[in-house]
Amino acid sequence: MGKPLLGLSMMPEADFVSAILPILQNNSVDVLEWSFDTFYDAQEPEWLSGLLDFYSEHNRLLGHGVYYSLFDARWTERQEGWLKKLKEEFRHRKYNHITEHFGFMNTENFHQGVPLPVPLHFKTLQIGKDRLKRLQDAVEIPVGVENLAFSFSIDDVKEQGEFLDKLLEDIDGFLILDLHNIYCQSWNFDISMQEIIRLYPLEKVKEIHLSGGSWQESAYGKKPVRRDTHDGSIPEEILNVLPEVLPQCHNLEYIIIERLGHTLNTGSKKEAFFHDFNRVKEITQVSDSHTKNQKVWHKKNGECVEPVEDLLLYEEQTKLTRMLFDGTDIQSVKDHGFHYFKPENWDEEMITTAQQIIKKWNPY
């Protein structure tokens, strides 16, 4: 029995490590999470390798993938290559577990941005389970999935908990509950955070993510859109809901605070960041939540079959991403006759937001 460990999502900027030095030096950072695939094709700075190796040697390092893309409807060499590099990374460094994001983001040539949601459908679930199993086959540690901040509709918001529950079944996987992602959905779709959280399989939550974000001006003169940009303080609403959430997550082991490396560039921002860190530490310590430590994970071995693919879904993912990138008229997106996607039910504001995000990350 014990309290969840509190840590940070590690960033590769030297500014970031100099900013967090005080809490590293006083041993407040119990655990580090590292997005290993952001450095698949780059050389880690020596100081970063040393720090990650130190946490790895003490069994305090978590892996967080960004670019695998669980719901790409075609299995490609890119994903094969990603898994190959993952195995190399795991030979080099020990991780306690590894996680990926819900959604798809690598269709065609759109390599960065925000993962886009897929609807809960037998076929999409089958593809997600297949990709997750391949990820699990590549490693000997537990695999988890993080809930998504971005949604096109209230239906996306309401079905994601059930979708994640079903997705994780076959590999005995776990959930990262990102509370800022839920805050984004809560604000953008006028639904309380508690109502959304109740829809999630909380017994599967092994890790919680906390972060801040930013406001994007409404394209329609309505209230602003909340974005998961990891560049601000943790909202008070999240810190208020955290004490209620902790006791409901009986298998919680880690709480990770996320902040982009180049955004701790002033004294006041650093001070606010430490204030958030200490608030979360305090909430965790006074909480009556304890990890039960009863859940023993065993890797499930199954035979590897041909990758599940769906060319119609692939075409639709490609078409949708292209329409968003091209800034296609919103009504044309809503009127487009997709089989899997239901844009007629989508929020216009969120279609516009997706267009802006994809354009920002893929400017050419």
Predicted pLDDT at 14: 87
Q: Report DSSP state, residue 116.
A: B
Whether the predicted pLDDT of 111 surpasses 60? no
How large is the average pLDDT for residues 217-243? 95
Element holding 214 (H helix, E strand): strand 214-216
How many C-beta atoms lie closer than 10 Å to residue 355's C-beta?
19
Amino acid at 89: E
Q: Could you give the CA distance from residue 294 to residue 305 in angstroms, rounded to a whole number?
A: 32
In degrees, rounded to 5, the angle at the alpha carbon of residue 348 between the alpha carbons of residues 345 and 351 is: 95
Q: Could you give the CA distance from residue 228 to residue 238 in angstroms, rounded to a whole number?
A: 13
Predicted pLDDT at 291: 64
The answer to whether the Cα torsion of 183, 189, 190, 192 is positive or negative is: negative
Convert the pLDDT of each residue in 160-180 to its tens digit: 999 999 999 999 999 999 999
239: nearest Cα among 212, 202, 271: 212
Token readout for 304 is 């590897």
9: nearest Cα among 89, 60, 53, 64: 64
Q: Using pLDDT thresholds of 50, 70 and 90, give the confidence band for residue 259.
A: very high
How large is the average pLDDT for residues 268-272? 95
Predicted pLDDT at 106: 64
Q: Which domains does the chain have, with CATH numbers?
A: 5-301 (3.20.20.150)
Q: Which residues have CB under 8 Å from 181's CB, separation 6+?
A: 146, 147, 148, 149, 209, 228
Residues, the chain, total? 364
DSSP assignment of 151-209, as one string?
-SSHHHHHHHHHHHHHHHGGGT-EEEEEHHHHHHHHHHTT--HHHHHTTS-GGGEEEEE
- By the 10 Å C-beta count (0-12 exposed, 13-18 middle, 19+ buried), 125 is classed as middle
Convert the pLDDT of each residue in 68-98 to its tens digit: 999 999 999 989 999 999 999 999 999 999 9
Q: Report DSSP state, residue 42.
A: S
Convert the pLDDT of each residue in 39-50 to its tens digit: 998 899 999 999
Predicted pLDDT at 93: 96
Predicted pLDDT at 310: 96
Instruction: Tell me the pairing of strands 214-216 and 225-227.
Output: antiparallel
Predicted pLDDT at 290: 65
Whether the predicted pLDDT of 1 surpasses 60? no
Q: Using pLDDT thresholds of 50, 70 and 90, give the confidence band for residue 199.
A: very high
Q: Could you give the CA distance from residue 15 to residue 38 in angstroms, rounded to a whole number?
A: 18
How large is the average pLDDT for residues 273-279? 97
Three-state DSSP class for residue 142: coil
C-alpha 11 chain-centroid distance: 15
Tell me what percent of the residues of the chain surpass a pLDDT of 70: 95
